[in-house]
Amino acid sequence: MVAAIEPRAGELFLEIGAGRGELTRPLAAAGARVVAVEIDRALAAALDGSLPAAVQVVTGDILAQDLAGLIAAAPGTATTSARLVGNIPYNLSAPILRQLVETQRRADCFIDATLMLQREVADRIVGCPGTREYGPLAILVQLVADVERVLTLPPGAFRPPPKVRSAVVRLTFRPSPVLIRHPALFDRLVRSLFTQRRKMVLNAVASITRSVSSIPPRVLLERAGVASDRRPATLHLAELARLSEVLADAGPVLE
């Protein structure tokens, strides 16, 4: 992971789940500054007393942190952007990824993220339209970042070996390729469509259009340039964005 990250002197890293410092120490040794978040009080205390001054240990739940605030308040640095690293708790992957995306949308404070995840979650993040893995998580992440798989790890790479496979992905953050004027409506649209991913778009979109607009679903799809016999999992970001904008223009926006 350290080789994949390629830390450089002077960079600022926000680390999720510092543990015993396996990543923290080599990042600091490369001359980087690190804000390391660890929820386990005993591990955080042990780290705090054994790391160089370039590392700030924050004890707490990552989901309860103001990530942009941690970056802006990092001692010894004037930057407002950071690189993100972490071995993400597998049962919290989705909420943590949503937190990262929401923070990036609001504060534009991440350069990239190198994250270890359960392999199935990694598959969902890198999923492309038309594949089984493509869905709300891929759409959410790909709105703000280009995604690539860096490593795949077998259970034997860990002690004790877990019952799941793992993978490391890199998110390179960039401006969204599509305009999303109403993020809450867009997210709601995507969730609604993909709970009915096997249906045709015409039928899948009907449930949300009834609560947003009196315009018939077929007319909304025509205005968005989306064929009514498509399946939700074939829709690209640009098509989903156009459909969201047509919905917003057709009636009161639900935030």
- Token pair recorded at residue 247: 């919905």
Considering the domain architecture, whether residues 125 and 230 belong to the same structural domain is answered as: no
Amino acid found at 123: D
**Domain limits for position 119:** 2-173
How would you class 215 by CB atoms within 10 Å of its CB: exposed for 0-12, middle for 13-18, buried for 19 or more? Answer: middle
Q: Is residue 255 part of a domain?
A: no
Range of weakest confidence among 95-99, 214-218, 243-247: 214-218
* pTM (whole model) above 0.85: yes
Considering the domain architecture, whether residues 43 and 95 belong to the same structural domain is answered as: yes
User: What's residue 50's pLDDT?
Assistant: 85
Last residue of a domain, one of 173, 191, 209: 173
User: What's residue 254's pLDDT?
Assistant: 44
Considering the domain architecture, whether residues 154 and 223 belong to the same structural domain is answered as: no
Q: Roughly what angle, to the nearest 10 degrees, separates helices 237-250 and 183-194?
A: 110
Q: Looking at residues 186-195, what average pLDDT do you find?
A: 92
How many structural domains compose the chain? 2
Tens digits of residue pLDDT in 57-80: 999 999 999 999 999 998 776 667
Considering the domain architecture, whether residues 29 and 86 belong to the same structural domain is answered as: yes
CATH of the domain at 212: 1.10.8.100
Q: Looking at residues 143-155, what average pLDDT do you find?
A: 92
Considering the domain architecture, whether residues 29 and 68 belong to the same structural domain is answered as: yes
Considering the domain architecture, whether residues 147 and 188 belong to the same structural domain is answered as: no
User: What's residue 248's pLDDT?
Assistant: 87
CATH of the domain at 54: 3.40.50.150
Q: Looking at residues 172-191, what average pLDDT do you find?
A: 93
Considering the domain architecture, whether residues 187 and 240 belong to the same structural domain is answered as: yes
- Give the sign of the dihedral formed by CA 119, CA 134, CA 15, CA 33: positive
Amino acid found at 80: T
CB atoms near residue 78 (< 10 Å) = 7
Last residue of a domain, one of 173, 205, 235: 173
